[in-house]
Structure 1
Amino acid sequence: MMRERRDIRKGFRTDPIPHEVLLRVLEAAHTAPSVGHSQPWDFVVIRSAETRRTMHELAQKQREAYAKSLPKGRAKQFKELKIEAILDTPVNIVVTADPTRGGRHTLGRHTQPQMAPYSSALAVENLWLAARAEGLGVGWVSFFDEREMVRALGLPEHLEVVAYLCVGYVDEFPEEPELMQAGWSQRRPLAWVVHEETYGRRALPGEAPHDLLSETVASIRPLDAKALGEAWERQKRMTKPAGALGMLEIISAQLSGLSRVCPPPIPEPAAVAIFAGDHGVHAQGVTPWPQEVTTQMVANFLGGGAVCNAFANQVGAEVCVIDVGVAGDLPATPGLLPRKVRPGTDDLSVGPAMSREEAIAAIEVGIETARDLVAAGNKALLTGEMGIANTTVSAALISVFTGVDPAEVTGRGTGINDETHARKVEVVRRALELHQPDPADPIGVLAAIGGLEHAAIVGLLLGGASLRTPVILDGVSAGAAALVARAIAPEALSACIAGHRSAEPGHVAALNKLGLRPLVDLDLRLGEGTGALLALPLVQSAARAMHEVATFDSAGVTEK
């Protein structure tokens, strides 16, 4: 019964619900457990067409407001979703929570006053399961301003609305949740969310704890040969000269092999993950920018005022900012994921940047971010980063994995003068001499000379590859991270697309070593995911062409 329960929005019938059936459903809800046996719930049963029209109008207003807040890629997808069935169902039920019920000394609410709505949520679950047993569909509507709803329904002002439920008989119960069928989201596997004893120590009952990094690497597979072959065959039959789309033909074949289907899914919606961290090597004077700029720019990203925000708005991508190692404290803000491993690295020129355990923890932040974004329905991931002095770290990593001298891979970052550039090269050289990093031990390299945001990008690439989701790489920091990811799992590159070529010389060396050809070359050197964002429409166009361009046979066009 629990596996068959569904949040229903479509396919309701107009059949009335017999009183005895509705009574059984409400009795089941009323037998729910509650903290301190407080039973804080009330159920307002609505049948009036006039009241339901009023509630429908309130929901529509909030739907429109939500749609305006979405990135274009998500908004296009949301437009096709049915989000409520207020007018389609004979009965609506409002479930409330009374935080005052039982008085001030209600058992279990002394330190956790939110137990009242939590208890009412248990009543919702009971109601839902009982309805399913009676053959009734239930749809939960959350597109309301709570206080507006309270006033419209004439509820006492002190009540909290926990759920607005649409209830009625349905033609069928879908095998999968409607949002999964629409591609809005995916179900997270149980193994992702069960922890033994401590958070992060993942283990299902009866199984030994598993290492997230090892599990991710083990699940990375090569491109699917069958889908690759079908993609190249389709390219030959499309109404264009063979090879006329150049790199886009290679990208479309890669997307087919990655998704195991031809034509491949169009990589939309997409999200850029901007990992932010600070660097102890800043103390060596490798940049004139103060370290607090990292914190300030994170606030700028979250406020929508950075270049990455403008580009993301243009191409319809979501901006996700992850604090993996910012030195300053960041207040809780919508759009910020607080995943700080430590407040910045140590100075790599005088000692290890971080411990091996911290490097792995930062990689796992990236893996978890990939999982979260893909489970939320994103079809493409883009890399981004923020961290004053991070091009020094990138140069060191690239030098190790390409074997190119530090002087040839160390660039001018934010536009430093000759004196600072010479100092920067010397700092990189000194760090490599101190640590003698071994490229055969990529995690050891990260721990010695890496950055927390670099490690997190490594995790994003590995996570994206394990989920067979394309990852569009940004600039020099992404290139450095891709070198590390390849050393950990060579097949991870099958998910990677080089968005652009940075003006930083190290990025050219990294791309050459990786064998990746960039889609855009505009002398960019900003970071933030800007180059990857500019490349996103090209990648989407490559997939769309496979779907929409006719073949010679279907269009009746004569081949040469």
Structure 2
Amino acid sequence: MFTFTELRLLCAESIFLKYSGYFLPLLLFILTKYVWKRFACSSANAARIQKEVIDTSNNIQTDATNDEIIEDEYRPHLPELEHVAYRGLIEWLDKSGDKFFKLANDRRSIRKFAKNKHVDIEVIEKCILAAGTSPSGAHTEPWTFCVIQDALIKQEIREIIEAEEYLNYSQRMSRQWTTDLRPLKTDFIKEYLTDAPYLIIVFKQVYGIRSDGMKQQHYYNEISVSIATGILLCALQSAGLNSLVTTPLNCGPAIRNLLNRPQNEKLLVLLPVGYAADDCCVPDLQRKSLNDIMVTY
């Protein structure tokens, strides 16, 4: 420990303290100059950017050539036609909604299909046509429905999915996830992929390709395709067919390559479709009541 006398001597001999009256103003001057220089550069950059924006805007407004390019680049993908009069509904089940509720409420997810019960492809086509009536963002219709009935392709799809599902169940899924699936008695074995007469693989088109080769943005593509899939499920049910909604985790790229689909298509859902086997069982589930799902104002 220093004594008070030693501290006084030390301070007296310190060069910095001895000349602090010179050092501190110099330090303050350097710091002020640095801050002012940074501020001046920032202001100059902001003014330059603003000037460039203004100049660009002026060029677009006054240059007819640029106007033509912009108009061509941003043309709508639909023809700009006059709207037509809405003719009103011409088909409905009943005006109470009761028949459709009974139809929808009767649907169950089926994991065991009759192997040898034939389904006419015309029925599948009509159901997909119904799905194609779905609304979509800016009417871009961003969906592709791949219908698989070839046994060899179905087997390849099953092998892809089961290999990934084994990893999902054993490594990737959380403990809570697999616990929540336990009452449904699902695992990585997917016999329904080869037993069902048809697999409908639904791809969302994240963008389209215009006739001039430019990309066409597909707005709300996942929501649009999900709505179409809901209509497809109802159409299949109304035709007396059973189905299952599956979302093959980490399988999309491999299945897309197998089916030789373009890069702008991403797998959304896979639907095995057919008739339930005679010994098919389903979980004993209860659906939420109206009070649980609807709020009125």
SS at match of 1:57: helix
Partner in structure 2 of residue 167 of structure 1 = 273
Q: Deviations over 1:288-331 (max 9, x none)?
A: xxxxxxxxxxxxxxxxxxxxxxxxxxxxxxxxxxxxxxxxxxxx
**1:373-402, CA deviations, whole angstroms, 9 ceiling, x for partnerless residues?**
xxxxxxxxxxxxxxxxxxxxxxxxxxxxxx
Q: Is the 8 A contact 1:135 1:170 kept in 2?
A: no
* Mapping 1:250-289, distance limit 5 Å: none
Alignment of 1:455-466 (within 5 A): none
Q: Deviations over 1:326-347 (max 9, x none)?
A: xxxxxxxxxxxxxxxxxxxxxx
1:24 to 126, 133, 136: 126
Task: Report the counterpart of residue 52 of structure 2 in structure 1.
Answer: none
Q: Once the two structures are aligned, what percentage of the paired residues are identical?
A: 21
| Distance in 1 of aligned mates of 2:183 and 2:289 | 24
Aligned-partner Cα distance in 2 for 1:99–1:192: 34
Partner of 1:205: 296
Q: Distance in 1 between matches of 2:136 and 2:278?
A: 32
Q: Deviation of residue 128 (structure 1)?
A: 1.0
Residue number in structure 2 paired with 1:123: 228
- Is contact 1:117-1:160 (8 Å) kept? no
Find the counterpart in structure 1 of residue 193 from structure 2: 86
- Which residue does the alignment assign to 1:135? 240
| Corresponding residue of 2:175 | 71
Q: Hey, what's the Cα distance between the residues in 2 that align with 1:96 and 1:59?
A: 16
* Structure 2 contact 113–274 (Cα < 8 Å) conserved: no
The CA RMSD measured in Å over matched residues stands at 3.1
Note the 1:500-519 alignment, pairs <5 A.
none
Q: Which whole-Å CA distance do the structure 1 matches of 2:125 and 2:181 have between them?
A: 41
Distance of aligned partners of 1:38 and 1:74 in 2 relative to their CA distance in 1, 3 Å threshold: same
Superposed displacement of residue 130, structure 1: 0.9
Change (3 A) 1:2 1:57: same
Q: CA deviation at 1:97?
A: 1.5
Q: Secondary structure at the match of 2:193?
A: coil
Quick check: 1:154 aligned with 2:260? yes
- SS of the aligned residue for 2:222 comes to helix
> What secondary structure, in the 3-state scheme, does the structure 1 residue paired with 2:230 have?
helix
Q: What are the within-5 Å matches in structure 2 for residues 340-489 of structure 1?
A: none
Distance 2:196 2:270 in 1: 12
5+ unaligned residues in a row in structure 2: which ranges?
A: 1-102
CA distance in 2, matches of 1:164, 1:55: 10
- The 2-side partners of 1:131 and 1:82 are apart by 25
Provide structure 1 residue ranges, at least 5 long, that are not aligned to the other structure. 195-203, 207-560
Name the CA distance, whole Å, in 1 between partners of 2:111 and 2:268: 19
Letter in 2 for 1:77: R
Q: 1:41 aligns with which of 143, 159, 165?
A: 143
The question of whether the paired residues in 1 share the 8 Å contact of 2:169 and 2:187 is answered with no
SS in structure 2 opposite 1:92? Answer: strand
Q: Under a length normalisation based on structure 2, what TM-score does the superposition of the two structures give? A: 0.54
Q: Distance in 1 between matches of 2:236 and 2:180?
A: 32
Residues 417-441 of structure 1, C-alpha deviations (whole Å, 9 max, x = no match): xxxxxxxxxxxxxxxxxxxxxxxxx
C-alpha contact (below 8 Å) 1:97/1:161 kept by paired residues: yes
Instruction: Give 4+ residue runs of structure 1 displaced > 3 Å after superposition.
Output: 102-106, 171-174, 186-194
What's the CA shift string for 1:135-156, capped at 9, x where partnerless? 1111122124211221222211
Which has the higher relative contact order, 1 or 2, with Cα contacts under 8 A spaced 6 or more apart?
2
- Partners of 1:80 and 1:171 in 2: CA distance: 17
Q: Which of 99, 106, 118 pairs up with 2:206?
A: 99
The structure-2 alpha-carbon separation of the partners of 1:82 and 1:189, relative to structure 1 and needing over 3 Å to count, comes to farther
Aligned residue identity for 1:99:
V
The amino acid that maps onto 2:205 is D
CA spacing shift, 1:79–1:131, aligned 2, 3 Å: closer
Report if the CA contact (8 A) 2:137-2:224 is conserved: yes
Q: Report the alpha carbon displacement of residue 163 of structure 1 after superposing the two structures with TM.
A: 1.4
Structure 2 Cα separation of the partners of residues 51 and 105 of structure 1: 31
Alignment partners' CA distance in 2, 1:93 and 1:3: 22
- 1:487-508 CA distance string (max 9 Å, x none): xxxxxxxxxxxxxxxxxxxxxx
| 1: CA distance, partners of 2:174 / 2:263 | 31
What do the CA deviations read for 1:169-202 (whole angstroms, capped 9, x no partner)? Answer: 225799xx94x53x7xx644554454xxxxxxxx
What residue in structure 2 maps to residue 418 of structure 1? none
Confirm or deny: 8 A CA contact 2:113 2:196 kept in the other structure.
Answer: no
> Is the Cα contact below 8 Å between 1:67 and 1:75 reproduced in 2?
no
For 1:135, the aligned partner's letter is G
The structure whose residues are more often helix, as a share, is: 2
Distance (whole Å) between structure 2 residues aligned to residue 46 and residue 76 of structure 1 = 27
Q: Report SS of the residue matched to 1:142.
A: coil
Partner SS, residue 120 of structure 1: helix
Matched AA of 1:15: K
Closer, same or farther: CA 133–93 of 1 in aligned 2, 3 Å: same
- Residue 173 to residue 99, structure 1, CA distance change in 2 (3 Å): farther
CA distance in 2, matches of 1:173, 1:35: 42
- Following superposition, the deviation at residue 162 of structure 1 comes to 1.4
In 1, distance between residues paired with 2:142 and 2:222? 8
In the TM superposition, residue 122 of structure 1 has moved relative to its aligned partner by: 1.5
Give the aligned residue type for 1:155.
R
Cα deviation 1:423-476 (Å, max 9, x = unaligned):
xxxxxxxxxxxxxxxxxxxxxxxxxxxxxxxxxxxxxxxxxxxxxxxxxxxxxx
Q: In 2, distance between residues paired with 1:187 and 1:65?
A: 31
From 84, 98, 108, the counterpart of 1:6 = 108
CA distance in 1, matches of 2:262, 2:140: 18
Distance 1:191 1:143, change over 3 A: same
Q: Quick one: structure 1 residues 155 and 142, their matched pair in 2 at CA, closer, same or farther if it must change by over 3 Å?
A: same
Residue identity in the other structure for 1:9 = R
1:52 aligns to what? 154
